[in-house]
């Protein structure tokens, strides 16, 4: 039953009847990385707090961070986070088209949660118009189920070379017949020119659809912007909805890999680090995917997690993690060329006899990173690359992985075999890994796709200092994460407060985000747009 039908049936409060004529609002940006996803998450929580049933929507997303829904479909991680802000279950309708780049000129195309193949940029541009009906039907289903849909654009609506086959920006706004807020990032510099220039490149009808501007990531005294805002409003005829301060104390999962630059380890400051902290280094692979797997680790106060891309940054680490990747073989070759592979192998072994007291690092591989730990990775079908069909792995685990045509996409429940601790997560991979000796599995999957199962997953080395798994989101499980960190703390004589301290509360972070944005926007203007 759509909203208008529920109003007529008396199933919606009088307050929600305000949305009968306009049930969507769209957030577009002056470019990528200006904070659209976080602003959408903030609005989702604000409207939820104000009593509305809210859902996020992004017609097409390009990201290597993905999530598996209960429908066993793959969507962009950002839309899963936004659904979490709405306190609803993520759905493939919230992100009907997902592009996962496999190279600079091609991506795997995922439609309604299922991979339909790899396409070059030109081929996808020709194919995209066929997806218009798909994204519109997904949007319609959300509109029938929720009071308000917060739509996110992609990149910029003024990318004039892409406008002819647009399905995510103004074409979507026109179909939804909704107001648009244009967001600019002042931290990058030139925000006034960026906002004004974007408006100037739009046709008259599209320009009219933009009802307000929003300045994001501002540092400093808000009063210093007053003259600039007045000038901008006069020149564009658009009101500025608000100025959102730059923040570092609110932890919202990031979608853009550009955010990893801020988390890159600086070897110059290693000596200043708290010796009680557990040092975790995540390898920043060129095609890194699902780096949000490690957010829960970085939120622990006695952990210092950083992303590394050269061998010098690995010195002094307690845990090395090789994350997921969209191109396992290419990233494995990069790992060797960069010297990181050799440094990793050195870090997990004890030094020569003269330094017997030194401790080795623990090495972990997640999904593609797990595949790299074996003897060999094969790609006979050219799933990830048509050039390189095989590569030797790091060789620390006696196993071989072959990439298969069929993609495994599933939510799972499992338990750690050594401790019995229960965990949940999701699988997204093409690989099938064959264990060549009696290595112990790391987990046992007891439920997959909602059905009972008994499947061994991952590998644990005989010494316990190397392990891998196909399960994403494993560290989001509080009991497992803290037990694992406690073991590392005891082994390496570090702080051991993990079992006693309070766990991180993501829901509270959404409330903090909503409070910050609510306090820095013109709510009367916001509500006037959706009425």
Which residue in 44, 86, 367, 429 is the catalytic one? 367
Residues of the chain with CATH 3.40.50.300: 22-59+132-251+510-530
Report which of 169, 239, 152 is spatially closest to residue 203, judged by C-alpha positions.
Answer: 169
Contacts of 213 (CB under 8 A, 6+ apart): 181, 182, 183, 184, 195, 232, 236, 238, 239, 240, 241
| 65: helix, strand or coil | coil
Torsion of CA 28, 34, 38, 43, to 10 degrees: -40
Report which of 272, 291, 271 is spatially closest to residue 282, judged by C-alpha positions.
Answer: 291
Which residue in 287, 429, 430, 472 is the catalytic one? 472
Torsion of CA 222, 226, 230, 233, to 10 degrees: -10
Whether 349 is catalytic is: no
Residues of the chain with CATH 3.40.50.880: 257-503
For the chain, the distance separating the N- and C-terminal CA atoms, rounded to the nearest angstrom, is 21
Whether 367 is catalytic is: yes
Report which of 28, 98, 33 is spatially closest to residue 60, judged by C-alpha positions.
Answer: 98
Statement: 22-59+132-251+510-530 belongs to CATH 3.50.50.60: no
Query: Is residue 449 a contact partner of residue 455, using CB atoms and an 8 Å limit?
Result: no
Q: 15-37 pLDDT, tens per residue? A: 444 444 448 999 999 999 999 99
What's the CATH fold of domain 257-503? Rossmann fold (3.40.50)
In order of 196, 207, 212, 233, 443, the CA distances from 230 in angstroms are: 13, 19, 13, 5, 59
In order of 153, 157, 158, 471, the CA distances from 131 in angstroms are: 16, 18, 21, 31
Distance CA 101, CA 90 (A): 22
Distance CA 14, CA 229 (A): 36
Tens of each residue's pLDDT in the chain, 531 residues: 454 454 444 444 434 444 444 489 999 999 999 999 999 999 999 999 999 999 999 999 999 999 999 999 999 999 999 999 999 999 999 999 999 998 777 899 999 999 999 999 999 999 999 999 999 999 999 999 999 999 999 999 999 888 889 999 999 999 999 999 999 999 999 999 999 999 999 999 999 999 999 999 999 999 999 999 999 999 999 999 999 999 999 999 876 655 555 555 554 344 445 678 999 999 999 999 999 999 999 999 889 999 999 988 888 899 999 999 999 999 999 999 999 999 999 998 744 444 444 568 999 999 999 999 999 999 988 887 766 788 999 999 999 999 998 999 999 999 999 999 999 999 999 989 999 888 899 999 999 999 999 999 999 998 899 999 999 999 999 999 999 999 999 998 887 777 666 778 999 999 999 999 999 999 999 999 987
- Residue 496, exposed/middle/buried by CB under 10 A (0-12, 13-18, 19+)? middle
- Residue 150, exposed/middle/buried by CB under 10 A (0-12, 13-18, 19+)? buried
């Amino acid at each position: 039953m759509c909203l208008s039908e529920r109003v007529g049936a008396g199933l919606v409060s009088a307050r929600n009847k305000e949305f009968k004529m306009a049930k969507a609002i769209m957030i577009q940006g002056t470019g990528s990385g200006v904070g659209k996803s976080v602003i959408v998450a903030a609005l989702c929580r604000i409207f939820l707090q104000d009593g509305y049933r809210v859902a996020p929507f992004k017609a097409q997303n390009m990201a290597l961070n993905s999530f598996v829904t209960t429908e066993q479909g793959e969507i962009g991680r950002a839309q899963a986070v936004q659904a979490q802000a709405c306190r609803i279950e993520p759905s493939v309708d919230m992100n009907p088209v997902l592009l996962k780049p496999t190279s600079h000129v091609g991506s795997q195309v995922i439609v309604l949660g299922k991979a339909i193949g790899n396409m070059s940029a030109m081929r996808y541009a020709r194919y995209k118009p066929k997806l218009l009906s798909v994204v519109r039907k997904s949007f319609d289903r959300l509109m029938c189920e929720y009071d308000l849909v917060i739509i996110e654009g992609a990149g910029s609506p003024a990318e004039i070379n892409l406008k002819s086959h647009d399905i995510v920006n103004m074409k979507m706004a026109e179909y939804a017949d909704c107001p648009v807020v244009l967001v600019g990032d002042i931290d990058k510099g030139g925000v006034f020119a960026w906002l004004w220039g974007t408006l100037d490149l739009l046709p008259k009808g599209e320009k009219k659809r933009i009802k307000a501007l929003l300045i994001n990531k501002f540092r400093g005294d808000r009063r210093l912007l007053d003259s600039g805002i007045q000038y901008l409003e006069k020149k564009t005829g658009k009101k500025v909805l608000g100025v959102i301060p730059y923040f570092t104390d609110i932890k919202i999962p990031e979608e853009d890999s550009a955010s990893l630059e801020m988390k890159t380890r600086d070897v110059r400051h290693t000596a200043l680090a708290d010796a009680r902290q557990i040092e975790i280094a995540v390898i920043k692979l060129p095609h890194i995917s699902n780096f949000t797997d490690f957010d829960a680790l970085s939120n622990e106060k006695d952990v210092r997690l950083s992303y590394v891309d050269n061998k010098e940054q690995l010195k002094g680490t307690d845990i090395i993690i090789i994350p997921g990747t969209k191109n396992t073989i290419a990233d494995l070759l990069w790992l060797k060329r960069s010297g990181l592979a050799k440094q990793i192998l050195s870090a997990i072994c004890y030094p020569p006899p003269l330094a017997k007291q030194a401790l080795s690092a623990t090495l972990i591989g997640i999904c593609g990173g797990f595949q790299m730990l074996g003897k060999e990775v094969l790609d006979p079908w050219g799933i990830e690359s048509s050039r390189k069909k095989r590569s030797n792995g790091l060789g620390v685990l006696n196993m071989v992985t072959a990439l298969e045509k069929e993609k495994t996409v599933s939510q799972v429940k499992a338990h750690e075999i050594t401790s019995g601790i229960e965990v949940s997560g999701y699988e997204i991979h093409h690989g099938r890994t064959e264990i060549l000796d009696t290595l112990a599995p790391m987990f046992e999957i007891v439920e997959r796709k909602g059905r009972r199962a008994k499947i061994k997953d991952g590998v644990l080395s005989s010494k316990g200092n190397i392990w891998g798994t196909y399960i994403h989101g494993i560290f989001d499980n509080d009991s497992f994460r803290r037990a694992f960190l406690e073991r590392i703390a005891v082994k390496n004589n570090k702080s051991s407060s993990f079992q006693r301290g309070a766990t991180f509360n993501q829901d509270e972070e959404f409330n903090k985000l909503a409070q910050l944005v609510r306090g820095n926007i013109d709510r009367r203007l916001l509500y006037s747009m959706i009425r």
